[in-house]
Amino acid sequence: MKYKKFIFYLVVSSFLFSFISAVSYSVPSFCCERSKDGGICLNLEKEKCDLRYQTAPTSCEQTSFCKLGTCYDMKEGLCLENVPQKVCMEKNGSWSEKKPSELPQCQLGCCIIGEQAAFVSALRCKRLSTYYGIEMEYRKDVTSESDCILLANSQDIGACVTFKETGINECKLTTRKECGAKEGVISLNVNKSIAESETGKRFYPGILCSAPELNTECARQVKTGCYQGKVYWFDSCGNRENVYSSDREKSWNRGRIASPDEICERVSSNSKDCGNCDYLLGTTCTKWEGVFGIGKPTFGDYFCKKTTCKDLEGNTRLNGESWCVYDIEPGRGYEKVGSRHFRQICLDGEVITDPCEDYRNQICVHSGIPTTKGEFSTAACRPNRWADCLLQTRKKDCENIDKRDCIWTNKIEGLKLDPKNTQSNYLNPFNNPTSLSNFNNAQQAANIFQASQLFGGLTGRASVSLNNGLNVILSSGRGMWEPDFELLNKVTKFNKSEEEEGGICLPLIPPGNKFWEGQGSCSLASAVCDVTIKRIERYEGLLAGADAKKVYDYQIINSDGIEVESECLKWEGGKAPKGTSSKSYSLVPNPEWAIKANAICTSIGDCGANVNINNKYTDNGYIWRFRNSTFSLLGNIKKGLETKGTGYSILESEKILLNNNISIPLTNFVLTKPSENNYKIKKAEELRVGDVIVDSDGEEILILSISKSEIKNDKPFFRSLLEKIGGYQGERILGEGNSPVGLSLGEYGTGIKIMEKNNE
Amino acid sequence: MKKRAQLTLFIILGILIFFAIVFFLIYIRKSEMFITQEQNIEACFSNNLQREIKFLSFYAGLINPKFNYNYSGKIYPILCYTEEYLKPCVNQEPFLKDAFENSLKERIKEDFEKCFKDYADDLKKRGFDVEEGKISFDLKIEPEEVVVLINAPTIIKKGDQSSQIRKFSYRYKTRLYDVIMIATSLIQYETYYGDSEQMQQMFFYPNIKIIKTRTENGIKTYSIIEKEEDIEFNFAVRSYAFPPGGVI
């Protein structure tokens, strides 16, 4: 038996344009003590340096004149990072090369001043104490800000009474520590004033200064005011009392301190009778500024005001709520070119849009804080952790949502990826050939990772403290958004793979890139599909002899010589020729393979054939070649139609004519609607009379007739379907967790709009 | 019927004119009172400080900041910057409060001297002999106030009586300190994490509104707005900027 090997190449690559190599972008290579535009100690190109100042052909970290470190502001007690030594010294600061965490004066502790607490350095605490004229308590043993706040909240508060000979005593509502006096006891004999038995100063925990037993000069409930977002009564001495209620007796609570919830229920709408405002219910203490007494609180000038906004979908959002807005629903491994994530915030009745970093370098995540009136939505932009997806070789590493935002899917035949280069560039950006940079990759990666955690670890909250002692509590909108791998398995552009080996890890939210400048990672992906054809020569007939007929069987084989099916090429007619007398055979490139390859390209970045934010489809970033012919995903040969060889181009494949006016190549895909809210894609050749297809305008067309067609290039039906990717036609999608309407590329990465996730 | 309608219209117009006259008289009276208060040196200090704090805040407390970013017609002084990708920004103005104090001192110097001169002139008009010495200032931004320490050696005489003014302080109520400290804090976050969470700051400071805008090339602009005083403190940063597509 004889066989011959024929090797064909089918190349699909996410090539960009020919000018890629010509494009160069700036790489900082000089340390400029001063830039021409006035910047201090910056790594720049030499031309940008102000030559009247010092420059060095290295990074600023290596120079003596622009060393960066921690600058300690001795006056304010602040530790400031990444400050040039010279700048710090000139302004009488104390400079160190060390990080704030390594400097004793920058160590954080709990600073308790009166009823307030701040997680700051000892000197900062001292400074704040001086400013407010209140004795400080500094606790080094408290190591987290949350503990510090708890400590402040757990302090004893009460009346600090200074007894006077006149019998009319002075009083201040304060903490036990600030009062610095022994605890006094209120006599059980209500007829006997405690002033008769006490002298000097005493602290009465849990008692208001207006309590009659204290015989103070402070008259109860003289005015109202704001404190920590709630409305409180204040006495004539200016001391805070209990939360405001128009039921004055209840609020006064016989002169005892009561928690706001004991006075009246938390307020979720404008209230003139209760001051127990709740930020998470959208109410906060506000000064009444109306006219003719409309809405005026029963007493005083302050009330709980509810402020709301309307989001793009017309939903009411509470003041302080934030939520995500997407151009396209995220998390499907697909984004339109130019799409971006946004965060919107309801602030004083105004919706503020906070765009996340462009090129999808940041993604918007959201979560909800449960309240009695439903969830309080909070959202944050955080880094898109896609950079090391391509490096992952195991499913569990790929889909480890604590570390990265990736999805695991099937590889396609012939796929070639070169992710390592990208990764090293990504993590080591200072590309200075003259530098002896001490750039620490691990540290950099740790910082980026830490930033990722801070700005929205996908689950739960992150709490991080800085030198100034501020606490960041981030959570994420209504319904936690996180990748739903179960859903992704059902509805995604990829066939999800369970295989540990043989799969490929791709970004969940593809990054964008300046492809028009040649930037990005598009060139990382290409696919070269090697197909080995085996021709088996045999003779047909009972005996080998003159009657015997020489025939050929053709097979596509793998490296072990075993017959296999190729993903990228198909036998014309669907079956391998067997017993044919012809020495030639016909193979056609498989559009399914090409579309899958394109799906991978679009996942890596703004690569391949894709639609942009204006729903315009272009395929300049995609070349699909077979022999000397180049094909388009839209079903037409684009260029290079020099030879047909023995292969067939799609152009030559048969077309069908639907209802005598729609012509589609048999191998193309169309969107069908088998039942209400149920969409599927089908190959045109699988269409039957009675099927309903959906055209680019969303119009449903019932197929009444199917006939063969050899019509020339026709209405770009499939192109128009591609343009429908996204379906929302420029409207933004609000991140609401599990939206009933999903968008996906469908199984093959082209424009499929699906209405119900379970049906795909 | 027509006449009755006309009469009603005239009555309504009459009422409106009456209220307009009452309003006008009240307004004029208030204005006159205000003019009287304007003579007060404290009002003069206060007006100048209010104006200059607003002006300087708009440029992060810097007079003619050279290193700035022009975005949507506004000039944002760059307070923390790096040209590189994925690198923390270099703090350009670590002592922001000091810088603001110096700028404010410089800007109010002449106005304060004029306030004092007007005050002295007013005394002279009222028959006092006023001997003015050289005036000097010091200024501190503190929580809830700006304290101006004024050294104005002045002797005021009338007949045999004389009194002497030397040092005195003027305290102007403002939340400028909070605004500067919030800016410092945002820069610290940017230096360390390459971003900040403004909602948290707004939660702690209900009078503060922070608008962060991510513009081109990784530059972020911040506007810290103190709602009651209408102070807008603007600045820009570029820290841990991401390269488009993640590849450099």
Tell me whether residues B65 and A38 touch, CB distance under 8 A: yes
Mean pLDDT estimate for chain A: 72
Q: Which of chain A's residues have a Cβ under 8 Å away from the Cβ of B216?
A: 358
Are the CB atoms for A117 and A71 separated by under 8 Å?
no
**A518 or B14, higher pLDDT:** B14
Q: Which of chain A's residues have a Cβ under 8 Å away from the Cβ of B213?
A: 354-355
Tell the residue number behind the tokens 């994420």, with chain if given.
A476
Tell me whether residues B195 and A381 touch, CB distance under 8 A: yes
Task: Give me the residue from B81, B214, B247 closest to A42, CB to CB.
Answer: B81
Chain B CB within 8 Å of residue A355 CB: yes
B residues 137-166 closer than 8 Å to A (CB) = 142-143
The answer, yes or no, to whether residue A656 has pLDDT greater than 90, is no
Mean pLDDT score, A557-570: 85
The answer, yes or no, to whether residue A548 has pLDDT greater than 80, is no
Distance from CA of B18 to the nearest CA of A (A): 19
Tell me whether residues A606 and B245 touch, CB distance under 8 A: yes
The answer, yes or no, to whether residue A687 has pLDDT greater than 90, is no
B residues 54-73 closer than 8 Å to A (CB) = 65-68
The answer, yes or no, to whether residue A423 has pLDDT greater than 50, is no
Are the CB atoms for A392 and A399 separated by under 8 Å?
no
Task: Give me the residue from B78, B84, B192 closest to A43, CB to CB.
Answer: B84
Tell me whether residues A471 and B247 touch, CB distance under 8 A: no
> pTM here?
0.68
Distance from CA of A653 to the nearest CA of B (A): 38
Task: Give me the residue from A93, A132, A320 closest to B203, CB to CB.
Answer: A320
Question: For A290-317, how does the pLDDT look when each residue is reduced to its tens digit (9 = 90+)?
Answer: 777 777 889 999 999 888 898 888 888 8
Tell me whether residues B194 and A606 touch, CB distance under 8 A: no
Mean pLDDT score, B162-174: 87
> Distance (Å, rounded) from C-alpha A525 to C-alpha A592?
17
Tell me whether residues B197 and A40 touch, CB distance under 8 A: no
What residue of B is the nearest CA neighbor of A92? Answer: B95
Distance from CA of A141 to the nearest CA of B (A): 24
Tell the residue number behind the tokens 């209408």, with chain if given.
B230
Per-residue pLDDT, A721: 37
Chain B CB within 8 Å of residue A605 CB: yes
**Beta-sheet pairing, A733-734 with A322-326:** antiparallel
Per-residue pLDDT, B177: 95
**CB-CB neighbours of A168 under 10 Å:** 12
**A4 or A460, higher pLDDT:** A4
pLDDT tier, B39 (very low <50, low <70, confident <90, very high otherwise): low
Which DSSP string corresponds to B77-99? EEEEE-SSBT-PPEES-S-HHHH
B residues 15-54 closer than 8 Å to A (CB) = none
Per-residue pLDDT, A69: 94
> Distance (Å, rounded) from C-alpha A381 to C-alpha A322?
11
**A608 or B66, higher pLDDT:** B66
- Residue partners of B166: CB distance under 8 A and separation at least 6: B151, B152, B153, B154
Tell me whether residues B243 and A383 touch, CB distance under 8 A: no
Token pair recorded at residue A329: 């629903």
Angle, CA of A481, A482 and A486, to the nearest 5°: 120
Cβ-based contacts under 8 A for chains A and B = 190
Chain B CB within 8 Å of residue A280 CB: no
Task: Give me the residue from B92, B189, B214 closest to A466, CB to CB.
Answer: B189
pLDDT tier, A20 (very low <50, low <70, confident <90, very high otherwise): very low
Q: Which of chain A's residues have a Cβ under 8 Å away from the Cβ of B183?
A: none
**A548 or A235, higher pLDDT:** A235
Tell me whether residues A39 and B81 touch, CB distance under 8 A: yes
Tell the residue number behind the tokens 């960041």, with chain if given.
A472
User: A166: burial class by Cβ within 10 Å (0-12, 13-18, 19+)?
Assistant: exposed
Tell the residue number behind the tokens 């770009």, with chain if given.
A716
Rg (CA), chain B: 26
The answer, yes or no, to whether residue A727 has pLDDT greater than 60, is no
**CB-CB neighbours of A495 under 10 Å:** 12
Question: For A187-243, how does the pLDDT look when each residue is reduced to its tens digit (9 = 90+)?
Answer: 644 444 454 455 588 889 999 999 998 889 999 999 999 988 899 999 999 999 999
pLDDT tier, A98 (very low <50, low <70, confident <90, very high otherwise): very high
Q: Which of chain A's residues have a Cβ under 8 Å away from the Cβ of B94?
A: 71, 73, 80, 83, 87-88, 91, 93
pLDDT tier, B246 (very low <50, low <70, confident <90, very high otherwise): low
Q: Poorest-confidence range of A629-633, A738-742, B51-55, B185-189?
A: A738-742
C-alpha atoms less than 13 angstroms from C-alpha of B152 in its C-beta half-sphere: 24
> Distance (Å, rounded) from C-alpha A280 to C-alpha A317?
11
Rounded to whole angstroms, the maximal C-alpha distance in chain A is: 140
The answer, yes or no, to whether residue A334 has pLDDT greater than 90, is no
pLDDT tier, A256 (very low <50, low <70, confident <90, very high otherwise): very high
Chain B CB within 8 Å of residue A466 CB: yes
Per-residue pLDDT, A332: 67
pLDDT tier, A701 (very low <50, low <70, confident <90, very high otherwise): confident
- Residue partners of A705: CB distance under 8 A and separation at least 6: A658, A659, A660, A689
Chain B CB within 8 Å of residue A148 CB: no
Mean pLDDT score, A518-523: 71
**Alpha carbon separation from A381 to A285, A402, A489 (Å, rounded):** 29, 16, 26
pLDDT tier, A56 (very low <50, low <70, confident <90, very high otherwise): very high
Tell me whether residues B245 and A520 touch, CB distance under 8 A: yes
Token pair recorded at residue A133: 């004229």
Token pair recorded at residue A113: 């001043």
Which DSSP string corresponds to chain B? -HHHHHHHHHHHHHHHHHHHHHHHHHHHHHHHHHHHHHTSHHHHHHHHHHHHHHHHHHTTT-SS-SSEEEETTEEEEEEEE-SSBT-PPEES-S-HHHHHHHHHHHHHHHHHHHHHHHHHHHHHHTT-EEEE---EEEEEEETTEEEEEEEEEEEEEETTEEEEEEEEEEEEE--HHHHHHHHHHHHHHHHHHS---HHHHHHH-TTEEEEEEE-GGGEEEEEEEETTTTEEEEEEEE-SBPPGGG--
Tell me whether residues A513 and B244 touch, CB distance under 8 A: yes
Per-residue pLDDT, B139: 94
Mean pLDDT score, A731-757: 28
The secondary element (H helix, E strand) that includes residue A83 is strand A78-84
Are the CB atoms for A751 and A722 separated by under 8 Å?
yes
Task: Give me the residue from A80, A84, A356 closest to B188, CB to CB.
Answer: A80
Are the CB atoms for A277 and A286 separated by under 8 Å?
no
Per-residue pLDDT, A291: 77
Task: Give me the residue from B82, B92, B203 closest to A279, CB to CB.
Answer: B203
Chain B CB within 8 Å of residue A279 CB: yes
Cα four-point dihedral sign A172, A176, A177, A182: positive
- Region class of A574: left (phi > 0), else alpha (psi between -120 and 50), else beta: left
Distance from CA of B72 to the nearest CA of A (A): 16
Phi, psi of A553 (to 5 degrees): -115, 140
> Distance (Å, rounded) from C-alpha A434 to C-alpha B152?
59
A residues 82-141 closer than 8 Å to B (CB) = 82-84, 87-88, 91, 93, 128, 131-132
**A492 or A613, higher pLDDT:** A613
- Mutation to test the A interface, candidates B72, B90, B212, most A Cβ within 10 Å: B90
Q: Which amino acid is at A168?
A: I
Tell me whether residues A229 and B66 touch, CB distance under 8 A: no
Which DSSP string corresponds to B3-25? HHHHHHHHHHHHHHHHHHHHHHH
C-alpha atoms less than 13 angstroms from C-alpha of B14 in its C-beta half-sphere: 6
Tell the residue number behind the tokens 């090539």, with chain if given.
A15
User: A517: burial class by Cβ within 10 Å (0-12, 13-18, 19+)?
Assistant: middle
Token pair recorded at residue A357: 């970093």
Mean pLDDT score, A35-48: 93
Mean pLDDT score, A452-468: 25
Distance from CA of A427 to the nearest CA of B (A): 8
The answer, yes or no, to whether residue A757 has pLDDT greater than 60, is no
Token pair recorded at residue A426: 């990504």
Angle, CA of A605, A608 and A609, to the nearest 5°: 125
Closest-CA residue to A383 (of A352, A368, A404): A404
What residue of A is the nearest CA neighbor of B242? Answer: A361
> Distance (Å, rounded) from C-alpha A10 to C-alpha A6?
13
Any idea what DSSP says for residue A281?
A: G
> Distance (Å, rounded) from C-alpha A651 to C-alpha A629?
11
The answer, yes or no, to whether residue A738 has pLDDT greater than 50, is no
**B37 or A93, higher pLDDT:** A93
Closest-CA residue to B91 (of A441, A91, A49): A91
**Alpha carbon separation from A311 to A284, A733, A735, B182 (Å, rounded):** 20, 11, 11, 28
Per-residue pLDDT, B219: 94
> Quick one: what percent of chain B has pLDDT higher than 90?
47
Tell me whether residues A451 and B209 touch, CB distance under 8 A: no
